[in-house]
Amino acid sequence: MKFLNNIVKFTVVCALTLLFSNISNSSEKNYYKELITDWSRIFPDQNRNAAGPKFFKYIIDKDITYEDFIEYNKLYCAVSGSLIDPNAEPDFLFVSERKTNEKICGDYYKCCIPCSCDVMKYSKVEKMKYKFINGLKEFYVFTIKNPCNKKDFPNRVNRNYFCDGEKINNDQVYNLNGRVVIGLLHKGRSCKKVEIDFIRSHQITGSFCELRNNTPLENLETGMGDIFIKLAR
């Protein structure tokens, strides 16, 4: 009898699953779709060059949970400003913390390999606290110094996105201790020696990045070329 009962229950569950899978009222969030839909709100002039900070600001200004925040931040490249495929795998890398110079390890979602190198060399991470709708959370973010007093501000980047005169434009990008937040370091934590060794010996974060980061700017053609570097250096 118990067996028969279980069959009935199983059948009911299967049938209900089948029934509701055909109805277009799923409440599951599609973060990628939201970013695509709102893309022209984020970039009204359609210039997303090096504009990861615009994505970060747009996301953190939303009324969302910490979990939503994490998911959204997997979908753009902090260096280039490109959207990233939802199924993309991150690179495991380290970046120096601004205050301590300690190496902080974590995952970086990138649009292309050179961006991992650029973020390692030209950004710093900082710990940031923020109150989401489900509570106060602490996490590491990539930052670059205020680019607004640069004389060689890259002309392919929309300066108005970043700057209000020589100050950071707080309406457009997130200002953390006088630096521009460009994106989130996922699962950031202090590196162990074995992790640093792994990253340094990895074919991308090791040998490829060493090559890229020692190439003169004028010879950089892959990734964002020299646009982000000129902005961040």
Dihedral Cα 22, 26, 28, 33, nearest 10 deg = 90
Name which position in 17, 45, 46, 171 contacts other proteins (CB under 8 A): 46
> Do 95 and 142 meet the contact criterion of CB atoms below 8 Å apart?
yes
Stretch that binds other proteins, among 3-11, 140-148, 162-170, 176-184 (CB under 8 A): 3-11
Radius of gyration of the chain (CA): 21
Q: How far is the CB of 45 from other proteins (least distance, A)?
A: 11
Look up tokens 């970046």; give the residue: 95
**26 vs 203, beta carbon nearer other proteins:** 26
Q: How far apart are CB 23 and other proteins at their closest, in Å?
A: 5
What gap in Å lies between CA 140 and CA 96, rounded to an integer? 11
Tell me how far apart the alpha carbons of residues 30 and 32 are, in angstroms, rounded to a whole number.
6
8 A C-beta contact, residue 99 and residue 177? no
88 binding other proteins? (CB under 8 A):
no
Q: Which stretch binds other proteins (CB under 8 A): 2-10, 91-99, 160-168, 203-211?
A: 2-10
Amino acid at 1: M
Rule CB under 8 A: say whether 26 interacts with other proteins. Answer: yes
Q: In whole angstroms, how close is the CB of 26 to other proteins at the nearest point?
A: 5
User: Is there binding between residue 87 and other proteins (CB under 8 A)?
Assistant: no
Between CA 86 and CA 69 the distance in angstroms is: 14
Rounded least distance, CB 11 to other proteins, Å: 6
Is residue 25 a contact residue for other proteins (CB under 8 A)? yes
Contact status, residue 232 vs residue 224, Cβ threshold 8 Å: no
Does position 15 bind other proteins by CB under 8 A?
A: yes
What are the tokens at 62?
A: 């939303």
136 vs 119: CA distance, rounded Å:
26
Question: Which of 47, 71, 83, 195 is the binder for other proteins (CB under 8 A)?
Answer: 83
The binder of other proteins chosen from 36, 133, 196, 211 (CB under 8 A): 36
Applying CB under 8 A, which residues contact other proteins?
Answer: 1, 4-5, 7-8, 11-12, 15, 19, 21-26, 28, 30, 33, 36-37, 39-40, 46, 83
